[in-house]
Structure 1
Amino acid sequence: MIWALHGAVGRAADWHPFASAMRAQGEEVRRLDLWRFLDCCPMPLEKFGDTLAGEITRIDPSPTLVGYSMGGRLALHALLAKPDFWKSAVIISAHPGLSDESERAARRISDAEWSARALKGEWPEFLEQWSAQGVLEGVEMPERLSLKDRRASIARSFIDWSLGAQKDLTPRLQEIRTPVLWLSGERDRKFSELAAEAVPHLPQGHHEVVADCGHRVPWEKPTQFADLVRAFLETT
């Protein structure tokens, strides 16, 4: 079974086109609502990894994780929580972590500002500011107004799951023994460079750059993305 983790300010339903494409090939996709993990209380990244790994262990003996951007970082924490358990993983446009503490501190400050906007600002204005970030150019994501009801959890994610709250996972990637396909978009140079640096640390890692594509690979190139995942799963 495939377990799909959406990105920041995202929805489980974002994975619907991918789930439909994979279902046609006999693959079941579970689309996770990540906000439920933050609905009641804080959940640091390491605890999330342990919690998700524990949940999936009870349900699926041979799971594949698929994580996009923030969801990719969360997937890495779940992989590290049980590095020998997973069948395979697909990481898309994800950051392995900042090694410089001053950069992490600056990111925590920036994400605290995003958190305040998400919690207290006008929701349409917050969404407009979020989507205006250069890294997210290429394709608009639907139904973001409906996330207003989850704004408390989304605001909390900017604190608990901030890149500034994350350790640099690069030294630990060697612990992940499962096959990992790491995808990035050709136009998304920053995250392609991060992937190129991270993947050599994975014992069974492979980096694929998707041509003429930005950060939102699964939605900008949906057919190619599904084909890449399908071909990868056939080898694992």
Structure 2
Amino acid sequence: MKQKYTTCVIMDPEMAVYKNSMRITVGDCTYGVSVIGDGEPIVCFHGFSESGNTWDNVKLVNHAMYRIDCIGHGQSDKPRPLEPYTIPAMLEDMHTVINLAVGDKYALMGYSMGARLALLYALQYGDEVQALVLESGSVGIADETERQARVDSDEALAQNIESLDSAWFANMWANVSIFASQQSLPDAVKAKIQARRQHNQVHALANTLRGSGQGIMPYVGDELHRLPCRTLYVSGSLDTKYDGIRQSVFEGQPNVTTHCIEGAGHNTHIEQPEEFSKVVLDFLRD
């Protein structure tokens, strides 16, 4: 196996969109990291087809938010081979990126796909994660038949994306039922979401589905007791699937706090950023 090397370049703040922007190379892949705020570090993983910019309206006082673009997204590389998009490779690379950018003690927060990755990451590197925030995240699919059906569904979507284009994907994804509550967002907010989705490359979206989709994720619903850190699970009341996961899977788990944001759907941090920020801050300060 080829040995990985790492480099970290901090861009000129006068040229960067944010206070600090970094380009961190791990092996053959370079990751984009943007930092907003000052104080205790909290690492942020975004959702599928999004980027670190999804957290723009989240304000965590006295915290520095390290928003990492997952492989194939945002300012990170979009390699054509599948291997960098597989869950083991993603977790290992993210761990290297975080240690270079932040150190070995930090809070961790993830949304949707990012919440799945954050949960798996915390189970693997829990001695470093001091607090964990999961927003609308899955614990995987327990039933083998259902899991294979999800793999097949993701493969069909990947083939559609490859045969069409990112504009088709962005329009289709915006009309998925889980995002129905976003239709009432201001036009400027919806335009930013759409721009992030259209920025993606078709092969990167397809590789993400094949390498780290929900059907590929191992089921860890029976391993939550192993989480060594305080954990917060946040869902929206309009998102019946993931609010159901909050109630049936996370409520009652040791060291886990849950919160439902009324009137929000799947993406609570975009639909109600002030309420989301308050809930997370209260948790982190506890």
Q: Do these two structures clear the TM 0.5 threshold for a shared fold by scoring above it? A: yes
Q: Paired residues, what number?
A: 230
Tell me if structure 1 keeps the 8 A contact 2:166–2:198.
Answer: no
1:136-175 paired onto structure 2 within 5 Å:
136-139=179-182, 140=190, 141-144=193-196, 146-148=198-200, 150-175=201-226
Matched, 1:57 2:57: no
1:70-219 paired onto structure 2 within 5 Å:
70-139=113-182, 140=190, 141-144=193-196, 146-148=198-200, 150-200=201-251, 202-219=253-270
* Separation in structure 1 between the aligned mates of residue 241 and residue 46 of structure 2, nearest angstrom: 20
Higher radius of gyration, 1 or 2: 2
Aligned residue identity for 1:208? H
Alpha-carbon distance, 1:38 to partner: 5.8
Alpha-carbon distance, 1:75 to partner: 0.6
* Separation in structure 2 between the aligned mates of residue 207 and residue 142 of structure 1, nearest angstrom: 30
**Structure with greater helix share of residues:** 1
Q: Which secondary structure state, in structure 2, belongs to the residue aligned with residue 181 of structure 1?
A: strand
> Higher relative CO (CA 8 A, sep ≥ 6), structure 1 or 2?
1
Q: Which secondary structure state, in structure 2, belongs to the residue aligned with residue 97 of structure 1?
A: coil
* Separation in structure 2 between the aligned mates of residue 97 and residue 183 of structure 1, nearest angstrom: 17
Q: Which secondary structure state, in structure 2, belongs to the residue aligned with residue 17 of structure 1?
A: coil
Deviation digits for residues 23-46 of structure 1 (CA, Å, limit 9, x no counterpart) = xx2211111110237635423223
Deviation digits for residues 31-75 of structure 1 (CA, Å, limit 9, x no counterpart) = 111023763542322332233234323432321111000110011
Q: Mind listing any 5+ residue stretches in structure 2 that lack a counterpart? A: 1-40, 183-189
Worse overlay, 94-103 or 46-55 = 46-55
Aligned residue identity for 2:104? P
Q: 1:55 to 1:211 in 2, by over 3 A?
A: same
Deviation digits for residues 61-101 of structure 1 (CA, Å, limit 9, x no counterpart) = 32111100011001111101112221101100111111111
Q: TM-score, normalised by structure 2?
A: 0.75
Q: Mind listing any 5+ residue stretches in structure 1 that lack a counterpart? A: none
Percent identity of the aligned residues?
22
Residue of structure 1 equivalent to 2:63: 27
* Separation in structure 2 between the aligned mates of residue 145 and residue 97 of structure 1, nearest angstrom: 24
Say what the alpha-carbon RMSD is for the aligned residues. 1.8
Q: TM-score, normalised by structure 1?
A: 0.90
